[in-house]
Amino acid sequence: MKRLLIKIAFDGTHYHGWQYQPNGVTIQETVQNSLRKVLNKSTSVTGCSRTDAGVHATQFCFHIDCDDTIPDTAFKLGLNSCLPNDIAVIDCKEVNPDFHARYSCKSKRYIYKFYIGGRDPFKDRYAMRLLAKPDLLLMNKFCSAVVGTHDFKGFSSSRRTVDDTVRTVLDCSVYFKENLLLFDITANGFLYNMVRILAGTALEIGYGKLPVDTAEKVFVNGDRSLGGETLVAKGLFLEQVNY
């Protein structure tokens, strides 16, 4: 028996997030069905996090236990041959038996993507369109304020399933890259809808719709209504998982 860490990338457009659910096709279900073809039996898949419906991933990690003797490289090729075109294995390696895709994770990095200007069918699938450029200086002042250990209750959805809402943001910034405006954040963990709410708050601050000290007010009051809107899922990417 060996434990494999498998890294995948996926386009989440047509999926109801990572975690299995009875009323919609998910990444986890699709991966498990493909693994069954490769291993000729069912196996449990443990993911590094739960991504929402429509969210994408440049790097998503999960682990499985198997007694298969196929070399890791061959396993990667075999699994890719069974997966649909919008999910791809990018790496596969054996790890220690006590490794856990979720609990061994030290931090995750998410990027929310915007583009500015007229409609672009090649960008619109993966980014939110903006009609005008926001003030990046104001947005980055907000980003600086969220760095550190805070109670992010007011920056999460009421549908969250955890009681502990304290998280540590290691880095957060907004910048342009390759004609896209990126909201880039790394933390030791995230609450339900936390990144989409933080990105939405930064955007409204950039347009002057919210005061630049919004982060401080939300941290003190824990009031979701003081923050910005929850942005659409299509612009959000899980960019990196760090162990």
Tens digit of pLDDT for each residue in 9-32? 999 999 999 998 888 999 999 999
| Catalytic residue (choose from 52, 98, 163, 223) | 52
Residue 77 and residue 196 in one domain? no
- pTM, whole model, 2 decimals? 0.94
CATH number of the CATH domain containing 145? 3.30.70.660
Residue 182 and residue 207 in one domain? yes
- CA torsion sign for 38, 54, 203, 222 is negative
Q: Chain-wide mean pLDDT for the chain?
A: 94
User: Is pLDDT of 72 > 80?
Assistant: no
* Distance of alpha carbon 119 from alpha carbon 98, whole angstroms: 48
User: Is pLDDT of 71 > 80?
Assistant: no
User: Which pLDDT score, from 0 to 100, does residue 240 have?
Assistant: 97
Residue 206 and residue 162 in one domain? yes
User: Is pLDDT of 34 > 90?
Assistant: yes
Share of the chain above pLDDT 90, in %: 85
Give the model's confidence band at 158: pLDDT under 50 very low, under 70 low, under 90 confident, else very high: confident
Known active-site residue 52: yes
> Hey, how many other C-beta atoms are within 10 angstroms of the C-beta on 110?
25
User: Which pLDDT score, from 0 to 100, does residue 4 have?
Assistant: 93
Q: How many domains does the chain have?
A: 2
Give the model's confidence band at 162: pLDDT under 50 very low, under 70 low, under 90 confident, else very high: confident
Does some domain include residue 234?
yes
Where does a domain end: 61, 95, 129? 95
The torsion angles phi and psi of 172, rounded to 5 degrees, stand at -160, 130
Where does a domain end: 32, 64, 95? 95
User: Is pLDDT of 66 > 90?
Assistant: no
Q: Say if residues 111 and 182 touch (Cβ distance below 8 Å).
A: yes
Residue 29 and residue 131 in one domain? no
Residue 220 and residue 159 in one domain? yes
CATH number of the CATH domain containing 37? 3.30.70.580
Residue 77 and residue 128 in one domain? no
Does some domain include residue 39?
yes
Give the model's confidence band at 160: pLDDT under 50 very low, under 70 low, under 90 confident, else very high: confident
What tens digit of pLDDT does each residue of 100-151 get? 999 999 999 999 999 999 999 999 999 999 999 999 999 999 999 999 999 9
Q: What is the arithmetic mean of pLDDT over 37-62? A: 93
* Distance of alpha carbon 57 from alpha carbon 77, whole angstroms: 20
Q: Which domain holds residue 87?
A: 2-95
Q: What is the arithmetic mean of pLDDT over 87-92? A: 96
